[in-house]
Structure 1
């Protein structure tokens, strides 16, 4: 592996900004200093650029195996690296669902061959696979995913005894999708009686409403407190839910943590009129008040990490009527640029972006030697030019699905270079596909 010397970067790390040189050897940050004169195989002049730890996305759906017409590990990891995401954790609602250790390991083998970014995969839970869940290797698997709301195939976990057993016996972190299924079904039936089949996407946040989210999230918190579970609640979408979490304990001591997603921090229900099904996600994007409440909780420490919930579907699938169109959308190529745009607007600092997208993810999941710009850590790094505007167009999309809810948006910041485990994987709008990412490991 070639060595690299990054010169005169403005480093954003652990609450500080400072100008420094970074020497990378054998995939590791070998040295950080005000001036390094050592020879390296390649040298990058980073004067005026900001160096952040690569984003670790703890929630993506890369669709492989079984749904590869939407995306796959190769295409979506390329998009992620171009967007400054150096590591991802992928969900088990592929086809077949990842409900056995054998199927889980098959995904790791695929990623070793195809993923440009570092990777981990969740073990999936169902109503009847507890024995398989208990076999999970906590050092080599990011966590166990529990869908406490509708999902693909056999992944809705709604049996009270199963939930009790999972929360009391899980060998590692449980990550949950929390929406109350009974509430959603009741709301949907109400709007069908009112409007028939003519329901449009503007009713999505009314069907999958605050009550549905809060009932499920509060139940998960109750179960976790009762059983001492290490619980991580994904994609908080309501202001009300943010009050379930505290910012009193240091993150490393928290047993219950939470995640916000970029789309819930960027869009509101006012955008359904122009974006339509392209911003149909589960949980639903809700009011501007919810959006601001989620951001407040991110900033004050009640919500610990920011992720994408990247979940691509084809243009044809999203163009179907509301009741038929699937939920989810592509985000990994544009998440960090969107957060940097929020920084420019004064909504979040660069230090907070590094904390919520890298430092805290590493702490939450106990990831080994990633998430920080430190000597001895893997060189997962992103160099960004904060004053290099560009516009999202179909022509510059890397997603397999070839659409984005951010199309026609102009971002002020450009990702210039991305290092994945020390390899320069993206540079000046070009992907460098000489090396694959690494499997993440966990200090548990």
Structure 2
């Protein structure tokens, strides 16, 4: 039965299959696809490419004592301005999310400030209350550090084995940061690459896969080489910065390009693209630091870069240049992350979540001064991108033509959630 009146009607939406139809939305869900119905609000999509809202399953929204870098408000405005309508925050906060009380406090903080959907992961340490956090609504476990990184403590293999067994018993998803770290503190980007080598990353991925119980849900974060992608057992995530940037693009001691895993050389970056079809998820690993924090000698600079607002726009530019297909971008930024996390997907069929971003047929250049992250800089400065003109969250226009119109925060708990 057709809805008598819809909350929102998207007219002339072209699906990835080429079908063009009207989408009627009521209560944040697609109710009808086909002929037009009456609606309280109508958006003509004929001039746009309409994508389901992206799910960025790897972000660091900072906040709390780190609010000068980013907070939930600035980080999620940056998200929707880049076509991301749901974010999954990592638990290596200050202090780390290792107890149900800290998880609930993080959920409250996000609920008060976020402008789009959000989920929170649980920290994975030997003394962490994994069961308590799972019941309190943790989406997944980790970023689990098989090597140390910014605000993250590296775990030994036996600790990982024991923690994986606990997570598997709960039925949870373990997300893993796998690297090998060697040598002294690096002075340049090339030395940073050698201190956390691509070959070591691939070895670490293989070892972690061997530790996981049979049938465990396992997800590898931000893999940076083709060998690592091939070595992975479980789902695979790659970032835009490893796809689009090499350390050869920067001055040797440019701290703005320092990130873990490191940017690789140009040949390794190009080889990573050869694995495009094997990559499950593109996620930003949005990890902002202030310019003041980055304006120190390289060996002392923190690792991490902002990227949530530029993630899909960079990929859309690659679509427009004919490098990748539109459908593959939708799959890797929206549908596959939703599937991995057990979330209802956004899309073009009745019952789908009504989250969308409308992209114009226009390439622009990234200008960090126009981005919404607090940190105020981007390693992608000057790169080609296609930014969305309008973004819809839960069937409501939240962003249009550079302006935030409305906040639509929504907590998305994991499968272990028990109402308190």
Q: TM-score, normalised by structure 2?
A: 0.92
Aligned to 1:231: 218
The 5-angstrom pairing of residues 202-221 of structure 1 reads: 202-221=190-209
Q: Does the 8 Å CA contact 1:75/1:399 hold for their aligned counterparts?
A: yes
Shift of 1:324: 1.1
Q: What are the superposed Cα offsets for residues 56-89 of structure 1, whole Å, 9 maximum, x if unpaired?
A: 0010001022211100010010010010000010
3-state SS in 1 of match to 2:411: coil
Aligned to 1:284: 262
Q: Does the 8 Å CA contact 1:66/1:94 hold for their aligned counterparts?
A: no
Q: Does the 8 Å CA contact 1:59/1:310 hold for their aligned counterparts?
A: yes
2: CA distance between counterparts of 1:364 and 1:430? 31
Q: Gaps spanning 5+ residues in structure 2: where?
A: none
Q: What is the RMSD computed on CA atoms of the aligned residues?
A: 2.1
2: CA distance between counterparts of 1:348 and 1:378? 25
The 5-angstrom pairing of residues 149-188 of structure 1 reads: 149-153=147-151, 155-170=152-167, 171=170, 172-180=172-180, 184=181, 186-188=182-184
Aligned residues: 408
Aligned to 1:377: 352
Q: What are the superposed Cα offsets for residues 279-315 of structure 1, whole Å, 9 maximum, x if unpaired?
A: 211001112332233222232xx32111000000001
Query: Does 2:396 correspond to 1:426?
Result: no
3-state SS in 2 of match to 1:30: strand
Query: Does 2:7 correspond to 1:31?
Result: no
Q: What are the superposed Cα offsets for residues 261-293 of structure 1, whole Å, 9 maximum, x if unpaired?
A: 111110112113289222211001112332233
> CA separation of 1:309/1:238 partners in 2, compared to 1, >3 Å: closer, same or farther?
same
3-state SS in 1 of match to 2:211: helix
3-state SS in 2 of match to 1:338: helix
2: CA distance between counterparts of 1:10 and 1:327? 40
Q: Gaps spanning 5+ residues in structure 1: where?
A: 192-198, 246-254
Aligned to 2:236: 258
> CA separation of 1:443/1:371 partners in 2, compared to 1, >3 Å: closer, same or farther?
farther
2: CA distance between counterparts of 1:374 and 1:138? 31
2: CA distance between counterparts of 1:341 and 1:290? 21
Q: Does the 8 Å CA contact 1:421/1:438 hold for their aligned counterparts?
A: no
3-state SS in 2 of match to 1:336: helix
Shift of 1:160: 3.4
The 5-angstrom pairing of residues 394-433 of structure 1 reads: 394-411=368-385, 413-433=386-406
Q: Does the 8 Å CA contact 1:231/1:256 hold for their aligned counterparts?
A: yes
Q: 1:329 aligns with which of 294, 302, 305?
A: 305
Q: 1:313 aligns with which of 271, 282, 289?
A: 289
Shift of 1:157: 4.0
Q: What are the superposed Cα offsets for residues 83-120 of structure 1, whole Å, 9 maximum, x if unpaired?
A: 00000100111111111111011111111111111000
3-state SS in 1 of match to 2:13: strand
Shift of 1:239: 1.7
Aligned to 2:274: 296
Aligned to 1:125: 124
Q: Does the 8 Å CA contact 2:58/2:285 hold for their aligned counterparts?
A: yes
3-state SS in 2 of match to 1:359: helix
> CA separation of 1:57/1:143 partners in 2, compared to 1, >3 Å: closer, same or farther?
same
Q: 1:243 aligns with which of 194, 206, 230?
A: 230
1: CA distance between counterparts of 2:346 and 2:267? 31
3-state SS in 2 of match to 1:80: helix
> CA separation of 1:403/1:19 partners in 2, compared to 1, >3 Å: closer, same or farther?
same
Q: Does the 8 Å CA contact 2:83/2:357 hold for their aligned counterparts?
A: yes
More deviation in 390-399 or 259-268? 390-399
